[in-house]
Amino acid sequence: MRHHKLDTLYLMRLLVAIVRCGSFAAAASQLGITPSKASKDLRHLEQNLGSVLLSRTTRRVQLTDAGELAYRQADQMIALHEQLLDGLQRRRSALCGELRITAPDLWGEVVLTPVLLRFRADHPEVRIIADFSNTPADLLRDNLHVAFRSTELGTQPYLARPIAVDDLVLCASADYLDRHPPLTTPQDLHQHSLITRSQEYGRHERWPLLAQGREIPLEVAGELAFSSKKAIHQGMRQGLGIARLPRYLVAAELAEGVVREVLPDYRPKGAHFYALYTQRRAESALVGHFLDYVIEALTPS
């Protein structure tokens, strides 16, 4: 027999990748092999097990009953192998391995990148692959360790760990505020120029505000509206109106005084940043240490 037992784990990974990706081509790309090799190796696995695992009658591959059993066992074998490697890592002082993460693009660039660079400097044997995107990620299909997301937790199929507050602030440039009437209540916003997010479903955007524990609903429409927070930020900096922006984006300018908070007694309702990960990743020393590190870095002192 050409293949020897050391290849078993690779064949298990191949089966799992084909099922999760839904095609030989996508699985091959993830594993760094050609589609023809993926197809040939899967046939080899089927011959070894004496069972057809995948039905290839449609454009999308489907598991047979035997394939379903093999897939579940393969997934467990990979998990056990990762736990074994992880246990050995724990015995060494230096963390090593690979971290594949995704985060929202702006937060990832502004807030997370400095933390990742420090983490990498502290742990030079860890390889970090970060994808900053607002597209929802499938942790299993995309083979990711951690997805950072600003969200209200609903029916997430993952484990979630709170990372930081996604604090929003109503703000305008000092120049704009010096040229316009002062604001004392949320209704005053309607007399001002506003820069809002452009909405697919209409002109109005909801800006719910919190005051003394109660929520005040507010609908606003800006004469200037962008889909990008960076563009909204630029317009606000140039004195074109009041904007609702993440505090992390304007923190330095607020401290300098070139941007000022508007209606500080009425705070925009924010959300939380969570780290989403699977049960398997929960048992990883590297993932656990990394999340502890991120939380400590982002917790105000």
pLDDT of residue 252: 94
Q: What is the CA radius of gyration of the chain?
A: 25
- Confidence category of residue 186, pLDDT binned at 50, 70, 90: very high
Which tokens hold the place of 65? Answer: 């009953």
Cα-based torsion angle of the residue sequence 130, 132, 135, 137 in order, rounded to the nearest 10 degrees = 20
CA–chain centroid gap for 195, Å, is 26
Helix axes 8-21, 35-49, angle to 10 degrees: 120
Q: What is the pLDDT of residues 213-260, one digit of tens each?
A: 899 999 998 889 999 999 999 999 999 999 999 999 999 999 999 999
End-to-end CA distance of the chain: 62
Phi/psi class of residue 67: alpha, beta or left (left: φ > 0; alpha: ψ in -120 to 50)? alpha
Which carries the bigger pLDDT value, residue 49 or residue 151? 49
Range with lowest mean pLDDT among 16-20, 71-75, 169-173, 282-286? 282-286
Give all domains of the chain, ordered by start, each with its CATH number.
5-89 (1.10.10.10), 95-165+272-298 (3.40.190.10), 168-269 (3.40.190.290)
- Confidence category of residue 284, pLDDT binned at 50, 70, 90: confident
Alpha helices by DSSP H, listed for 247-284, are: 247-256, 279-282
Which carries the bigger pLDDT value, residue 4 or residue 258? 258
Alpha helices by DSSP H, listed for the chain, are: 8-21, 24-31, 35-49, 65-91, 105-107, 113-122, 174-179, 229-237, 247-256, 279-282, 285-298
pTM of the predicted model as reported, rounded to 2 decimal places: 0.67
